[in-house]
Amino acid sequence: MLQISLERDAGRQGRPVYRQIADQIRAQIAVERMTAGSRLPPIRELARELRVNRDTVALAYEELARVGVVEATVGRGTFVAGGSVVPGAELAPFEPALSPLAERLLEIERSRPSFGSAREAVPMHALIPDPALYPADAFRRVLNRVLQEGGPELLLYGGPQGHPRMREALAARLRGEGIDTDAREQVLCHGASQGIALALRLFADPGDAVALEEPTYNNVLATVSGLGLKAVAVPMSEGGLELGALERVLERPEVKLLYTIPTFHNPMGTTSSLAQRRALLGIAARYGKPVIEDAYEMDLRFEGRRVPPLAALDTDGLVVHLSSFSKSLFPGVRVGALTVRGRLVDALLALKQASDLSDAMPLQAALAEFIESGAYARHLGKLRRVLRARRDALLEALEEHMPDGVRWTRPEGGYQVWVELLEGIDTSELLTDAVGAGVLFAPGALFNHDGRPSHCLRLTFALADERALRRGVAILGEVVRKRGAVAGRRADRIHI
Amino acid sequence: MLQISLERDAGRQGRPVYRQIADQIRAQIAVERMTAGSRLPPIRELARELRVNRDTVALAYEELARVGVVEATVGRGTFVAGGSVVPGAELAPFEPALSPLAERLLEIERSRPSFGSAREAVPMHALIPDPALYPADAFRRVLNRVLQEGGPELLLYGGPQGHPRMREALAARLRGEGIDTDAREQVLCHGASQGIALALRLFADPGDAVALEEPTYNNVLATVSGLGLKAVAVPMSEGGLELGALERVLERPEVKLLYTIPTFHNPMGTTSSLAQRRALLGIAARYGKPVIEDAYEMDLRFEGRRVPPLAALDTDGLVVHLSSFSKSLFPGVRVGALTVRGRLVDALLALKQASDLSDAMPLQAALAEFIESGAYARHLGKLRRVLRARRDALLEALEEHMPDGVRWTRPEGGYQVWVELLEGIDTSELLTDAVGAGVLFAPGALFNHDGRPSHCLRLTFALADERALRRGVAILGEVVRKRGAVAGRRADRIHI
């Protein structure tokens, strides 16, 4: 009944065989050689007749089903669908099949919240340092100088470990934090994000599980997914990870590591205590599980006493320390670093080499010079003063404008405050109101592993100055009150 | 008999439980509380007694066996080994377990050939453009200017797709190659190496297979391994991929894509014909398998007529085109690019985002300006003249110094020549002689999927100038003659 002729040696104008099959069946349906309800030959039979693989025919039928030309019924077969088919209408342009992991990442991207494009809205959603505070000109001059002095050699592949001077400069800073390390134990990378991916791959293969805080940095969830790893949630409280839950997760053999942000947590803004850190390391040591310590905002403390990083307390070689200059200088420098020992250095170098060979040496050399000259320290001094003033303005405004029962954290550094609204408010829904009213925030669902609704939200004092923060929180207070009233009424109805 | 006390809440000084067990057993053997030949308690029993997981005890026993303190006999149990045990001697420092894929990458790194550190040796082994030819100063001035004009905004995260001006400049160049594309279809990346990893992940998940040429670019073998993919070899001849073999590989459902270097192949230096390219695309189309076209040296043709890239011949949206400036400008610019269509753009952006968020915009903006100003074209003109002269010198020297029966390719662009010695010579062994004599090359085994011996080698005219190339080939000729005589004698013996 079906008349199909295949151009197997398709050459220049060739289409994949399954597309040729799908196109010809569709054409015959269009001219009513096949009518609605009539049955397509079984896959096996057509495959034999055309001398092609069964998968090829199956793919053709799937494509036809996808565009609604046929309908497949399990166990019964595939039938021409009812309804009109436009003669000559084209199938969607051919695209090669994406891998399931790439499809999953696409899905994650699609589910990111939309912040609209309201130019006037107060930007309290983004964790991006304020360009108005970048020492752009000073850095440019340093970069120009190191390129002049370094000459062409600085434009070679620099090797996977990164520029020696930058590793020296970083090791010196880390020793200042109490970490016993040197330049040989630093592996520089292309921003902290690449550092996270490399550190995960150091211990976990696709199919393995990794323990992550919940809530946690949203991009790490995408990175974990994209690598084919399973994220296991360990709940956060203001004091840090819940240790009982951590123990139950780390004892599972399929869980290969813990990723944690102990200082100026993202999204919570909290810092765990020394006692909490020691307890966490004790649990990790008991099960021999490595800990990735994301210290991306370590240079941004503007209040209170420093708590030693996990890497300074680690006596078992379990901690991989991750640092970054994206939040303390600017993201465009793309310098992150992993601090590890022994074989882990070699393994990281092999992973880095297989990922992108080498970073751009000019930027690393310039950053080293910028640090050594004291310019970075001066910049940090100024930045911390600005951040403290912004945090104060934000907390005061929250005090003034938030309804009773709303709680928030008090960060001693970094850029973010975690706000807990009344239960029953879904902050993803609230965001729609907020965008309309002129204020942006990051809804808590973004930081949940499964994206489930949350009554929490993250506010940043990164891009907005004090005046804007006060205005933003006043607007947010209004939005919360309105939505809270509605939520209250809904709750009433439920109770009746 | 065994006395073991565990510090479970190990805290600051804590060691993993398995290490505590291993250490204490070892201590008791050292003081001869346990003597050679005595049996350790069964794993199950000790685990129950200590109230720990059986895996923990098994790990302790494995560690003790590893350092030779005990011996395990399947089915019989674990026994204290004979021989002296130094009291108080430490076990190896604790290190968390690497993932199997990280271990595999370490293994690959360890198996790379050693080129010694002979400073005087003629460097014909590396595919790195000559720093003496970098337009370092001109680029520095452009970079300084774009940073001055761009200000702090250029130091923000640039987004995963890359700088719009750079994408425009690249799209214009690609249109010049006959590829119908625009700026929206370019996804910039951190060098071609990252581009390869991203393109592989677009279509292949861990466990999947990918078709690669053999011989092929050695780093792609490490990248494939590190991603948990299986490499399936398709043999190369001078004309390109063997098409019959390609067809048999691409029809296998677990093979998700083909990675190929059709122009100035690495390591062979060859360029496939238009007919060969059309046939290759026909086969890929027949099975709907995407093709990654690595065009890393596309700007380096110094002789003969341009053959259209696969991407210019592709009518099915199957080709992912990869370009780079590492070989035509300098590696330190770290700008590569993938050219794709439709959903593939979005999927690549999601993958790039999950890998490292964003590249460094200053370098991309400077490269765009460098191209638009005509400086890149002027640089290419000069570079091509130099490369042609070097290639000529290399080929002449080969003609003069190589024994009869040795064959080599004649590249029309790029940096590399493939030399086929007499069968029976293992060029990995030959390298030892060559390093001693003062010349470096890349042995063919490096480019074989399984690293098996090869009688071929790659010579580059990248870092060595004409004079050095002539000297290097003269030395190599001597080395080959000597080794050939030995190989000949060996072959004789075998035949007798």
Report ipTM (2 d.p.): 0.84
Using an 8 Å CB-CB cutoff, list chain B residues near A9: 282, 286
Residue B401 token pair: 């110094």
Distance between CA A469 and CA A387 in Å, rounded?
Answer: 12
Q: What is the radius of gyration, based on Cα positions, of chain B?
A: 28
pLDDT at residue number B492: 44
Residue B151 token pair: 């200000």
Which of B224, B310, B345, B356 best probes binding to A when mutated, by most A CB atoms within 10 angstroms?
A: B356
From the centroid of its chain, how far is CA B289?
A: 23
Distance between CA A334 and CA A166 in Å, rounded?
Answer: 13
- Inter-axis angle of helices B218-226 and A343-356, nearest 10: 110
- Which residues are B413's β-sheet partners? B301
Q: Determine the residue of chain B that is closest to A15 in CA distance.
A: B285
For B:440-459, CB contacts with A below 8 A are: none
The more confidently predicted of residues A247 and A483 is: A247
Per the CB < 8 A criterion, the answer to whether B421 and B453 are in contact is no
Instruction: For residue range B222-260, list pLDDT tens digits in order.
Output: 999 999 999 999 999 989 999 999 999 999 999 999 999
Distance between CA A197 and CA B21 in Å, rounded?
Answer: 33
Which of B218, B316, B320, B364 best probes binding to A when mutated, by most A CB atoms within 10 angstroms?
A: B316
Using an 8 Å CB-CB cutoff, list chain B residues near A158: 332
- Least-confidence region, from A429-433, A440-444, B93-97, B393-397: B93-97
Distance from CA of B404 to the nearest CA of A (A): 38
Most confident of A37-51, A104-118, B18-32, B88-102: A37-51
Most confident of A32-46, B104-118, B187-201: B187-201
Q: Using the Cα atoms of residue B392, residue B396, residue B399 and residue B402 in order, give the sign of their dihedral.
A: negative
| Closest alpha carbon to B193 in B332, B324, B320, B310 | B324
Instruction: For residue range A359-396, list pLDDT tens digits in order.
Output: 999 999 999 999 999 999 999 999 999 999 999 999 99
Instruction: For residue range A6-60, list pLDDT tens digits in order.
Output: 766 543 344 678 888 888 888 778 777 788 888 999 999 998 988 888 888 888 8
Q: What are phi and psi of A346, to 5 degrees?
A: -60, -40
pLDDT at residue number A492: 44
pLDDT at residue number A59: 84
- Least-confidence region, from A287-291, B88-92, B250-254: B88-92
pTM, whole model, 2 decimals?
0.84
Residue A377 token pair: 């320290």
| CB contact burial B313-341 (16+ within 10 A = b; e otherwise) | bbebbbbbbbbbbbbbbbbbbbbbbbbbb
Say how many residues make up chain A.
496
- Least-confidence region, from A2-16, A118-132, A230-244: A2-16
**Residue A287 gets which letter from DSSP?**
T
Instruction: Assess whether pLDDT exceeds 80 at residue B86.
Output: no
Instruction: For residue range B398-457, list pLDDT tens digits in order.
Output: 999 999 999 999 999 999 999 999 999 999 999 999 999 999 999 999 999 999 999 999
- Amino acid letter at A394? L
Using an 8 Å CB-CB cutoff, list chain B residues near A143: 143-144, 147, 362
Contact B316 A256 (CB under 8 A): no
pLDDT at residue number A88: 47
Q: What is the radius of gyration, based on Cα positions, of chain A?
A: 28
B432: left (phi over 0), alpha (psi -120 to 50) or beta: alpha
Q: Which parts of A60-101 are beta strand (E)?
A: 70-73, 77-80
Q: Sheet holding A291-294: strands in order across?
A: A186-189, A336-339, A319-324, A291-294, A255-260, A209-214, A230-237, A240-241
B251: helix, coil or strand? coil
Cβ-Cβ contacts under 8 Å for B472 (sequence gap 6 or more): B122, B124, B397, B438, B439, B464
Distance from CA of B400 to the nearest CA of A (A): 33
The average confidence (pLDDT) of chain A is 91
- Inter-axis angle of helices A54-66 and A43-50, nearest 10: 120
Distance between CA A289 and CA A286 in Å, rounded?
Answer: 8
Grade residue B15 by pLDDT with cuts at 50, 70 and 90. Answer: low
pLDDT at residue number B125: 96
| B10 vs A16, A286, A361: nearest CB | A286
Instruction: For residue range A171-200, list pLDDT tens digits in order.
Output: 999 999 999 999 999 999 999 999 999 999
- Amino acid letter at B97? A
Determine the average pLDDT of the residues in B378-383. 98
Contact A101 B205 (CB under 8 A): yes
- A188 CB-contact burial (10 Å; exposed 0-12 / middle 13-18 / buried 19+): buried
pLDDT at residue number B353: 94
Instruction: Assess whether pLDDT exceeds 90 at residue B269.
Output: yes
Using an 8 Å CB-CB cutoff, list chain A residues near B357: 191, 193, 219, 331
Q: Determine the residue of chain A that is closest to B342 in CA distance.
A: A95
Q: Using the Cα atoms of residue B177, residue B182, residue B186 and residue B188 in order, give the sign of their dihedral.
A: positive
Cis status of the peptide bond prior to A443, with omega within 30 of 0:
no
Give the DSSP H or E segment for B362. helix B361-372
| A350 vs B95, B109, B206: nearest CB | B109
Instruction: For residue range B28-78, list pLDDT tens digits in order.
Output: 787 777 888 889 999 999 989 888 888 888 888 888 887 788 888 878 889
Distance between CA B331 and CA A155 in Å, rounded?
Answer: 6
Grade residue A93 by pLDDT with cuts at 50, 70 and 90. Answer: low
Cβ-Cβ contacts under 8 Å for B228 (sequence gap 6 or more): A205, A206, A228, B101, B206, B207
Grade residue A496 by pLDDT with cuts at 50, 70 and 90. Answer: very low
Determine the average pLDDT of the residues in B119-141. 95
| B332 vs A96, A228, A360: nearest CB | A360
Q: Determine the residue of chain A that is closest to B141 in CA distance.
A: A144
Q: Using the Cα atoms of residue B339, residue B341, residue B342 and residue B348 in order, give the sign of their dihedral.
A: negative
Determine the average pLDDT of the residues in A407-434. 96
Contact B98 A343 (CB under 8 A): yes
**Residue B257 gets which letter from DSSP?**
E
Distance between CA A472 and CA A489 in Å, rounded?
Answer: 26
Instruction: Assess whether pLDDT exceeds 70 at residue B488.
Output: no
Which long-range contacts does A444-449 make (Cβ < 8 Å, 24+ apart)?
A444/A215, A444/A267, A445/A113, A446/A112, A446/A113, A446/A218, A446/A267, A447/A214, A447/A215, A447/A216, A447/A217, A447/A218, A447/A266, A447/A267, A448/A214, A448/A215, A449/A212, A449/A214, A449/A216, A449/A221, A449/A231, A449/A233
Residue A307 token pair: 């708590």
Say how many residues make up chain B.
496
Distance between CA A205 and CA A210 in Å, rounded?
Answer: 10
Per the CB < 8 A criterion, the answer to whether B442 and B457 are in contact is yes
| Closest alpha carbon to A365 in A158, A84, A133, A120 | A158
Per the CB < 8 A criterion, the answer to whether A328 and A338 are in contact is no
CA angle B39, B40, B42 (to 5 degrees): 110
| A99 vs B197, B204, B251: nearest CB | B204
pLDDT at residue number B10: 45
CA angle B454, B459, B462 (to 5 degrees): 150
Instruction: Assess whether pLDDT exceeds 90 at residue B212.
Output: yes
Per the CB < 8 A criterion, the answer to whether B269 and B420 are in contact is no
Q: Determine the residue of chain B that is closest to A56 in CA distance.
A: B287
Instruction: Assess whether pLDDT exceeds 80 at residue B119.
Output: no
Quickly tell me which residue has 């496939």 as its tokens. B272
The average confidence (pLDDT) of chain B is 91
| A102 vs B131, B202, B358: nearest CB | B202
- Least-confidence region, from A41-50, A338-347, B165-174: A41-50
Q: Which parts of B266-393 are beta strand (E)?
A: 291-294, 319-324, 336-339
Which long-range contacts does A314-317 make (Cβ < 8 Å, 24+ apart)?
A314/A281, A315/B12, A315/B13, A315/B14, A315/B15, A316/A281, A316/A284, A316/A285, A316/B14, A316/B15, A316/B16, A316/B94, A317/A341, A317/A342, A317/A344, A317/B93, A317/B94, A317/B95, A317/B96
Determine the average pLDDT of the residues in B183-190. 97
The pLDDT > 70 percentage for chain B reads 93
Per the CB < 8 A criterion, the answer to whether B276 and B240 are in contact is yes
For A:350-409, CB contacts with B below 8 A are: 350-351, 353-363
**Residue B125 gets which letter from DSSP?**
S
Q: Determine the residue of chain B that is closest to A361 in CA distance.
A: B332
Tell me, letter by letter, the H, E, C secondary structure of B159-227.
CCCCCHHHHHHHHHHHHHCCCCCCHHHEEEECHHHHHHHHHHHHHCCCCCEEEEEECCCHHHHHHHHHC
pLDDT at residue number B162: 97
pLDDT at residue number A177: 96
